[in-house]
Amino acid sequence: ILGMFSELKFPVPWGHVAAKAWGPLEGHPVLCLHGWLDNANTFDKLIPLLPRECYYVAMDFSGHGLSSHRPAGSPYHFLDYVSDVRRVAAALQWRRFTLMGHSMGGSVAGMFSFLYPEMVDKLILLENLGFLLAPEDTEAWLKSKRMVIDRLLSLEAKQQTPKARSPEAALQRLLEANRHLTAEGGAILLQRGATETPAGLVYNRDMRVRTQDRESLTVEQCVKLLQKIQDRVLIVVAQDGLLVPHKLNNRNRFVKALREAFESTLKEHIQLVEVPGSHFVHLNEPEVVSGIISNFLTAQTTRARL
């Protein structure tokens, strides 16, 4: 039964990467990647609605959920998350598999697909276009890099102990930070995203995750990279999510330009589907996207059409 799952742990040099798995071990492998500050529970409502013949593994990135935090003194580089995926694939002995990523997990899935195209048979991006936003100019790029270092050193200097909150306050804080989350969705994420202590709930995530160092790509590079894996990409965008063109402000011109490039250059080769819902549609209303994803997963042809 796909509602049942098992917990997995993969050893890494600084501890372990945690994951949860659904479905038959011998089924077609699907690796599921959560968004920034989220965890593997983001797929709890969706996976039971997907094809039963697949084996789904949803991992917690380092510093998230039940996975170990990175060693002291280390920032969280974007490529480290890509390395987490490579380590988990090696531990599972998967040579070729499907990648499904939500939000930041989609960016990680995209980058993994460009670096290891021979390992990815299909790519499913939920509320993500496969890339992180690039700063518009050199000064903005320099500022972002400096901020990563300064934030890391500031956090180290403070050495704050994680704040304990009542279950209600912990959920409230999560919902305030994620206006797209429902109370039910937030509670599901908290089950894996916080630990009970005598003083109250403490978030599991590493504070340093906020210092994440991003990779910058131009629109031209993005299109070129997507052409490497075209005909096996499904992108699901929510109408009230973070990527709808008419709602994007100037700061997100990059996303707008990328979507326009999709339309002109890759239209026949990449499926981009808009669905009603918010950034967390896969968690809040999984039935809205489950049919689209199921059809894509089960399509046999190289060009996996809906």
Amino acid at 161: T
Query: What is the C-alpha to C-alpha distance for residues 30 and 94, in angstroms, rounded to an integer?
Result: 10
Q: Which of 167, 177, 178 is nearest to 202 (CA)?
A: 167
Residue 30 phi/psi, 5-degree rounding, is: -130, 120
Beta strand 5-12 pairing with 15-22: antiparallel
* Structure token digits, residue 21: 């798995």
Query: What is the C-alpha to C-alpha distance for residues 286 and 43, in angstroms, rounded to an integer?
Result: 9
Query: What is the C-alpha to C-alpha distance for residues 85 and 90, in angstroms, rounded to an integer?
Result: 9
103 is an active site residue: yes
> Is the Cβ–Cβ distance between 19 and 58 less than 8 Å?
yes
Selecting among 62, 67, 68, 103, the annotated active-site residue is 103
> Is the Cβ–Cβ distance between 30 and 19 less than 8 Å?
no
Residue 213, burial from CB neighbour count under 10 angstroms (0-12, 13-18, 19+): middle
Q: Tell me which residues are annotated as active site.
A: 103
